[in-house]
Structure 1
Amino acid sequence: MNKNHDVPFPAPSHWIDGRAVPGSGPLIDVVNPADESVVASVHEGTAEDVDTAVDAALAAFPGWSATSPEDRIAVLRRVAEGMQQHNEAIAATITLEMGAPIGFSRQAQAGFPVASALAAITAAERFAWTEVVENSLIVREPIGVVGAITPWNFPLQQVVTKIVPALLAGNTVVLKPSEISPLSARMFAEIATEAGLPDGVLNVVQGTGPVVGEAISRHPRIDMVSFTGSTAAGKRVSVAASDTVKRVALELGGKAAHLVLPEADLDLAVNRGLAYAWANAGQACGAYTRMLVPQDLQGHVVEKLRAAAAEYTVGDPSDEATRIGPVASETQRRRVDGYIRRGVADGATLVVGGPGRPTGFETGAYVRPTIFSDVDPDSVIAQEEIFGPVLVVIPYTDDDHAVEIANGTVYGLNAALTGDAEHAMAIARRLRVGQVDINGGEHNFQAPFGGYKQSGNGREMGRAGLEEFLETKAITR
């Protein structure tokens, strides 16, 4: 089924050296996951296209890196203002390309990138680009050409989280956005050009991971690769980049535990926990996908979850009332549905949802928002990243048991705690994760974001995110 949609910034081509550059490869359809319509097509990039983009980035590097931090900040501030001005168009485009409900798109998919950019600008304004340590001058300098590879779940947010600090640091960039959601990245490139970013400083090559992503990772003239995506894909990037010993920053998968402490306000825990588990149809590396509850409270928590789940309307993502839209593609729908079927087969108790499509959605990439209880912490659905609206409830006996379960996966991205603040802080220090949220602390775009273990390395956001894109030189006399 095909429908015509007005996409504010059509993306039939790459964006190299400040202009649209048609590709020579076949077209990749950008499919609206809500109704399977084709909303745009982009050229599938090649290794030669990456070479062209790298040439442009190398040519632009001397001039851009020589500008003052103040001048770079001024350009990026105009970029943030441009994103704010195009908020509605960006939100509508992301809803079309990956299915996020329009209300969530406005708030998060289009709103978070502006907040992230402004936070990075603030970090750059405060940053010590040089400092004196005894008889040495310590200088922070740009790395060079950065290759950025970004995912489809928060397409613009992930672009901004990498590109803005990389540019503030004086680097030039070759970006490969996800082929599933490439339109918002092209919008960003045009907004940046309109804001006065010099030609060649930011280049976008559309295409797939095995071709364009591989070419970026292996490219001898790319000095760093920053990747966000699955742990399996991140391992491939690391291997490909190892031949040139380039810096690699990885923000990978997660399996966040939300520990509900015995003294917790259960209504708060359930409402927060479900919201963070099912936001963006559960397609977030930091989604609170495991709810750990005291064994003797599991029944109460499950009944509250059952009631809260009834408020989550599944529907057309362009409808203002929709809280859960489709997942991003038919491939993803089948993957999530397979995990739900595995949970049933392995004996977890199905609370709401289950396999198959929601009633009334015979087409589109829709899954049934699902909750399991009595989940074995070593089971597949408790260990692997599902990336869909699936919450598992796991009972625990005491603090030590809860910490053991929380730390008992290959991931270590983030976690959450609900309960007495002092009790929660003591447990937070025992969790092997990069971020911990206690009682719904307000999100801090200046705080570092990144994981332990197989959730990756390096940090994004704030000062740490800026440092990721800098080399350090000591000049001693």
Structure 2
Amino acid sequence: MLEHTHENGSSQSQPHQQDSAHPMTVLESYVYGTWYHANAGFRPVYHAISGEEIYRVSSQGIDMQKVLAYGKQHGSTLAQWTFHQRANALKLIAQMLLEKKEQFYALATATGATRKDAWIDIEGGIQTLFAYSSMVRRELSDEKIITEDSWIQLSKHNSFGAKHILSPKAGVAVHINAFNFPIWGMLEKIAPTLLAGVPCVVKPATDGAQLTQAVVKAIVESKLLPQGALQLICGQTYDLFDYLGPQDCVTFTGSAYTGQQLRQHPNLNKYSVPFSMEADSVNSAILATGSSETAVDLFVREVIREMTTKAGQKCTAIRRAFVPQELLIHVQEKLVAKLNKVVTGDPTLENTSMGALASIKQKYDVAEKVEQLAQDAEIIFGGHLQQNIQFNAAHPENGAFYPPTLLLCKTPIQAQYVHNTEAFGPVCTLMPYQSIDELGDLVARGEGSLVASIVKDQHANIEDIVAKIAPWHGRLHILDETSAKESTGHGSPLPHLVHGGPGRAGGGEELGGIRAVKHYMQRTAIQGSPDSLTQVTHAWTAGSQINEDRVHPFKKSFDELVIGERLLTARRTVTEADLVNFACLSGDHFYAHTDKIAAAETFFGERVAHGYFVVSAAAGLFVDAPKGPVIANYGMDNLRFVEPVKIGDSIQVELTCKQKTPKPQKDPTQAAHGVVVWDIKVKNQRGELVATYDILTLVERGQEYQA
């Protein structure tokens, strides 16, 4: 089995040897509930600045079958937790990691990262945990499964129907990560996995694995997750894939070559194991035609930032910069002027603005790829001209330093390497385009990318560009003077947005909000009676059993209420005075409600009541006025006006307890409470549905109120 997952698919090597005066540090793996120390098969990792050996890695001797079995046996406890329990644990983990962040920053300098670079990896990763915890607590009910549908009627008399549910997979998620983001790369994968209730096995790249291990060690010591929920393999995966089964899944970030080899494993095909791949890609930045100097400056700033951040070692970094032919020389001059100000060197030194690559091997690989690119393009800054560049380091010959390198390809239509070769470092190729059609063709030659940026003037229309290049990308970043004020930038994947891309980029999807949580869950269609589906989903289904008694539901505490509890209200006849008074009160004098002649010409044939009057009148029918356990209205969902309510119609409300979700008590001085979802159906005198919606109320717990 392949050991390494570098973005460029290369393996670690280094010419320097460890000083015998310094003891060897071996990174331990965390498997089957213990820290495992290998005794042989080590691979050394060297400091990106000094070239000294800093640790060794080996996973030789680990029982990979036992790793997976342990995760399934013990980590399955996660599936018994509710979404909010998992989300609260994730939030506590994020808070704990934030308190320890300086430990991680200290380790990050060995990877060649500046403080700014490390911030993306460390605090960006931790913020991803916070974001996912918040999304789940906000968007999902406090249940163990997700119910996707309200009710799909499959029979004439509504006795047979269906819903789709999502439940945690009963396996393990194996996450194989690249070297460039050892913390963020892990956290952005395990966040949705743990929230889905699925245990994880993390395999970091050898370079940077010390950072991954430090974070895992902190999580393990916190005891915020059940045993088996998170395991770590530092080193090779050996025969791990041989034991994958039908409930397992794999995610991979790294080179397309390595990912394709992993994807061919027979077990993945035999058991249809989901394999999500995020591979290196030749991402683009596009300067729109007719751009002003403001847009040019934004374009230059974005290209330079992506070349120098993490020394260009980002899967989202800009590799091709497309500009209109008439702006080529102008943009070239601006880029070179900016690059002349970049100080490459030791990230611990004050003046350094760009750090080193992750390893000497990485440096050689980038240089080799630049030579390939140079067959199509001219090196106009950096590259083999590096003898003219001074590195800000005590012993630059020992470090993995590589200068920011800009190439110019004047004939991209005839070129090949600039479209399919990625130098995974501070390297970008500048190219002209003659038309939107030509631009679309050039971008597509990248065969699928993670992201492209389109930089434009504020009011420029770029619909044609978007239409041509969107199918080739997982994300499009549109930058203008307005968005630039708060834009997170071309190269920043966000928890709320999909991170992945078609074709060469791997065809996978990560992040994307709740979509990522669902990736680790199985969608199942559940068919049966309304009562059966209510029982399975813990949410009342139309047509299932109801409970009625003399006590108004609003007089009952959260704990006293039962799913299916219903109130059938008195009726109210709508009058002309109601329409006039509501129009005056709300200021809504829309003709369909107030103009008798104009309303008669509509398909209603006469005036109709305001929709919001119907909602307000419904509340007046079902609300119990005296003080009780109901604290407040928390919101309204899924409002639909089905039939018009006319003068003389009588409306009646069916209020049914649909779902209950307890809320954590953040302030101990406040009464404990939960959210109750009520199904509201407003009907007229003929039994026709005129409005339907859900209301959410905050209801106190543990108290009894008498009628």
Same structural fold, with TM-score higher than 0.5 when normalized by the shorter chain: yes
Corresponding residue for 1:127?
140
Q: How does 1:248-259 map to 2 (within 5 A)?
A: 248-259=275-286
When the two structures are superposed, what TM-score results if normalisation uses the length of structure 2? Answer: 0.63
- Greater RCO structure (CA 8 Å; 6+ sep): 1
Query: Which of 114, 117, 126 in structure 2 is aligned with 1:104?
Result: 117
Corresponding residue for 1:220?
244
Q: Is the 8 A contact 1:147 1:216 kept in 2?
A: no
Corresponding residue for 2:455?
418
From the superposition, tell whether residues 376 and 57 of structure 1 become closer, same or farther in structure 2 (CA, over 3 Å): farther
Query: Which of 59, 72, 76 in structure 2 is aligned with 1:58?
Result: 72
Corresponding residue for 2:586?
none
Partner SS for 2:430: strand
Hey, what's the Cα distance between the residues in 2 that align with 1:3 and 1:326? 22
The number of residue pairs the alignment matches comes to: 467
Corresponding residue for 2:519?
468
Bigger Rg over Cα: 2
**How far did 1:434 drift?**
0.5
Hey, what's the Cα distance between the residues in 1 that align with 2:26 and 2:232? 11
Query: Which of 221, 236, 261 in structure 2 is aligned with 1:236?
Result: 261
Q: CA RMSD in A?
A: 2.3
Hey, what's the Cα distance between the residues in 2 that align with 1:217 and 1:310? 48
Q: Deviations over 1:269-292 (max 9, x none)?
A: 101121113311111111011100
**How far did 1:411 drift?**
2.8
Corresponding residue for 2:473?
433
Hey, what's the Cα distance between the residues in 2 that align with 1:17 and 1:37? 32
Corresponding residue for 1:336?
366
From the superposition, tell whether residues 452 and 44 of structure 1 become closer, same or farther in structure 2 (CA, over 3 Å): same
When the two structures are superposed, what TM-score results if normalisation uses the length of structure 1? Answer: 0.92
Hey, what's the Cα distance between the residues in 2 that align with 1:368 and 1:186? 30
**How far did 1:375 drift?**
4.6
Partner SS for 1:327: coil
What amino acid does structure 1 have at the position aligned with 2:453?
A: A
Structure 1: 4+ residue segments shifted above 6 A: none
**How far did 1:206 drift?**
1.1
**How far did 1:158 drift?**
0.8
What amino acid does structure 2 have at the position aligned with 1:232?
A: Y
Q: Is the 8 A contact 1:225 1:249 kept in 2?
A: yes
What amino acid does structure 2 have at the position aligned with 1:56?
A: Y
Query: Which of 338, 352, 355 in structure 1 is aligned with 2:381?
Result: 352
Corresponding residue for 1:35?
50
Query: Which of 121, 126, 137 in structure 2 is aligned with 1:114?
Result: 126
**How far did 1:11 drift?**
5.8
Query: Which of 490, 497, 514 in structure 2 is aligned with 1:447?
Result: 497
Corresponding residue for 2:109?
95
From the superposition, tell whether residues 121 and 185 of structure 1 become closer, same or farther in structure 2 (CA, over 3 Å): same
Q: Deviations over 1:392-429 (max 9, x none)?
A: 00110011111211111223211001003552354223
Q: Is the 8 A contact 1:147 1:217 kept in 2?
A: no
Matching of residue 206 in structure 1 with residue 234 in structure 2: yes
Q: Is the 8 A contact 1:61 1:172 kept in 2?
A: yes
Hey, what's the Cα distance between the residues in 1 that align with 2:194 and 2:405? 41
From the superposition, tell whether residues 307 and 3 of structure 1 become closer, same or farther in structure 2 (CA, over 3 Å): farther
**How far did 1:381 drift?**
3.3
**How far did 1:27 drift?**
2.2
Q: Deviations over 1:78-126 (max 9, x none)?
A: 1111221122211221221x21112321x21111101211222223221
What amino acid does structure 2 have at the position aligned with 1:469?
A: Y
Identity in percent: 23
Q: Is the 8 A contact 1:349 1:372 kept in 2?
A: yes
Matching of residue 14 in structure 1 with residue 29 in structure 2: yes
Structure 2: where are the runs of 5+ without partners? 1-15, 153-160, 529-707
Corresponding residue for 1:381?
418
**How far did 1:320 drift?**
4.1
Hey, what's the Cα distance between the residues in 2 that align with 1:99 and 1:351? 25
Hey, what's the Cα distance between the residues in 2 that align with 1:95 and 1:142? 38
Q: Deviations over 1:358-416 (max 9, x none)?
A: 54522211112110113543331332121111110011001111121111122321100
Partner SS for 1:454: helix
**Residues 143-152 or 323-332, more deviating:** 323-332
Hey, what's the Cα distance between the residues in 2 that align with 1:199 and 1:157? 22
Q: How does 1:169-184 map to 2 (within 5 A)?
A: 169-184=196-211
Hey, what's the Cα distance between the residues in 2 that align with 1:276 and 1:293? 16
**How far did 1:197 drift?**
1.1
Q: Deviations over 1:189-237 (max 9, x none)?
A: 12222331112110001113xxx1x533332347101111111111112
Q: Is the 8 A contact 2:135 2:514 kept in 1?
A: yes
Q: Is the 8 A contact 1:223 1:247 kept in 2?
A: yes
Q: Is the 8 A contact 2:252 2:278 kept in 1?
A: yes
Q: Is the 8 A contact 1:257 1:406 kept in 2?
A: yes
Corresponding residue for 1:150?
177
Partner SS for 2:179: coil
**How far did 1:465 drift?**
1.6
Partner SS for 1:457: coil
What amino acid does structure 1 have at the position aligned with 2:147?
A: T
**Residues 447-456 or 297-306, more deviating:** 447-456
Hey, what's the Cα distance between the residues in 1 that align with 2:286 and 2:334? 16
Q: Is the 8 A contact 2:383 2:405 kept in 1?
A: yes
Partner SS for 2:175: strand
Corresponding residue for 1:306?
336
From the superposition, tell whether residues 24 and 194 of structure 1 become closer, same or farther in structure 2 (CA, over 3 Å): same
Q: Is the 8 A contact 1:102 1:320 kept in 2?
A: no
What amino acid does structure 1 have at the position aligned with 2:234?
A: Q
Hey, what's the Cα distance between the residues in 2 that align with 1:204 and 1:288? 32
Corresponding residue for 1:317?
347
What amino acid does structure 2 have at the position aligned with 1:169?
A: A
Matching of residue 459 in structure 1 with residue 488 in structure 2: no
Hey, what's the Cα distance between the residues in 1 that align with 2:442 and 2:189? 32
Q: Give the helix-richer structure, 1 or 2.
A: 1
